[in-house]
Structure 1
């Protein structure tokens, strides 16, 4: 994988983590706590409350963004893995078919695990346990990403 492709892949994986964690943080956060923080002058809490006035819009934007970055990261990983498999003598011809079939199956398997762990489970777990702190950081870019 070229350096540029690798950094694009990592950036997309980080964006997937952002979208997943933001979804969990925003939808697990206490509205009462946010209102109290906003009343005490916390501008970020006020921004979160403003964004959450239209929860459907927030959810659609986060899910669409996550879908786009997950498909894009999988496409980049598949390209890399297909190039690797095509150069590999072991994968050239196998009982699974030609190298393209093996590469696609391998990419699907690897990306399922990578996206589940680093794009869903870990970010969501961290965000749920730190909902307010994460939401305060995530609200700034989210305001620009809302559809």
Structure 2
């Protein structure tokens, strides 16, 4: 979220908080999944719902980006069923050792978020492998 206005940061904060609360995460889990600075206490998480944007921190920004991409991928998987988007992240999944994707993200941190995003979005997984073709030379 570098080089964006306060209003854009606030909008991203609201979308992210709606997403995480929709998944049933509490304040402590939200602080963990976003890797909020230690200066942000769990009791202050509600401020982000009331009009305060997330801190402009590179770790937080990267995680907000991952969550945004996960949300987009879930919309692709379940375009007409918003309830399934929330259920999918809460249900045990064989791919993650019978853990729920949301648990993987909270417990494993950034690597868990990458695992979930890679599972949902094959283009993200493809980019991670470095398998990019230069079509201009062919």
TM-score, length-scaled by structure 1:
0.28
Q: Which structure: greater helix fraction?
A: 1
TM-score, length-scaled by structure 2:
0.29
